[in-house]
């Protein structure tokens, strides 16, 4: 990986900003240059939300990209809006539980909301998609994500266990 531009997009309340921050923090010790750039609407919950994470071996001239090697897409609106910005050789991991459009190229359709619901918390669908992404593109070690999750949810054992289970389900899909 010389430079990986990642877009994570969905609706407010789906853990988009948290997922971007989690990925960026997990990469800090192993990737020389990391940027994290969140963007969300004023209404936040239910409104459009996305963030960009750039992982690079060289200095990053701008934290904002217009093309992406990697995408995590949580809902139909984000799929329509952002998929055209996927690089020709890029990979998009898409929540098929909430996206009915069937993209034709470089996409993994994953029933993330359904999978997370089966685990006990559909709010963890973002972590299912992250697990799938890291299975196909090892941008950071899964142990780094697990460690970051323990820092975030350490005092809430049940929430931590559900989030770890969702992440591991994604790695296994």
What's the predicted TM-score (pTM) here? 0.93
Q: At what angle do helices 112-119 and 157-172 cross, to 10 degrees?
A: 140
Please list the rounded mean pLDDT of every run of 10 residues in the chain (173 residues): 92 91 94 92 70 95 92 95 94 94 85 95 96 96 94 87 95 93
- Which residue blocks in the chain are alpha helix, DSSP H? 16-27, 76-82, 112-119, 125-136, 142-153, 157-172
The topology (CATH level 3) of 3-172 is: Pyruvate-ferredoxin Oxidoreductase; domain 3 (3.40.920)
- pLDDT tens-digit series, residues 121-147: 999 999 999 999 999 999 999 999 999
CB count, 10 Å around CB of 63? 12
Dihedrals φ, ψ of 28, to 5°? -55, -40
Q: Which residues pair with 92 in a beta bridge?
A: 71, 107
Give residue limits of the domains in the chain: 3-172
């Amino acid at each position: 990986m010389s430079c990986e531009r990642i877009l994570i997009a969905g609706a407010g309340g789906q853990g988009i900003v948290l997922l971007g921050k989690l990925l960026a923090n997990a990469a800090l010790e192993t990737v020389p240059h990391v940027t994290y750039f969140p963007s969300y609407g004023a209404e936040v919950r239910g409104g459009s939300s996305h963030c960009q994470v750039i992982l690079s071996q060289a200095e990053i001239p701008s934290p904002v990209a217009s093309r992406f090697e990697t995408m995590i897409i949580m809902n139909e609106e984000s799929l329509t809006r952002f998929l055209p910005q996927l690089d020709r050789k890029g990979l998009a991991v898409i929540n098929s539980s909430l996206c009915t459009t069937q993209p034709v190229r470089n996409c993994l359709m994953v029933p993330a909301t359904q999978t997370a619901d089966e685990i006990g918390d559909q709010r963890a669908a973002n972590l299912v998609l992250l697990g799938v992404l890291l299975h196909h593109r090892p941008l950071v070690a899964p142990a780094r994500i697990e460690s970051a999750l323990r820092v975030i949810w350490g005092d809430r054992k049940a929430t931590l266990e559900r989030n770890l289970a969702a992440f591991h389900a994604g790695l296994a899909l």
